[in-house]
Structure 1
């Protein structure tokens, strides 16, 4: 039973992570297709921020998780 809960939590995190990675540029928030000139490169056309795309995705997932943790239940 405990294992079922852990697996369910892991699946929800993985699904949410895939959605949250598309959160746009961490500093200015701009979401544009042009921000990803290659699969691994992220270069914001709005503010010029340059980083590895996985780093930007990880930052967006972290921020989304922290926001959910701080959110009050309905």
Structure 2
């Protein structure tokens, strides 16, 4: 059950970080617009993306471990 929750949360985190990256880079309307993006604005986006990738890797490892345990327990 944990592996499914971890998989869903990791995909959600990756989606949120990619969506925020997209929203930060789209130009806004008006004469001034947004201007340049501050360097400190990238820290949360990058940290959420790295966390999502790590959680995705962890959930994949949990799926592989569950398959290996079932294969050893029940045989080929």
TM class, shorter-length? 0.3 to 0.5
Structure with higher strand content: 1
Q: Which has the higher contact order (CA 8 A, sep 6+)?
A: 2
Q: Which has the larger radius of gyration?
A: 2
Structure with higher helix content: 2
TM-score, normalised to structure 2's length? 0.36
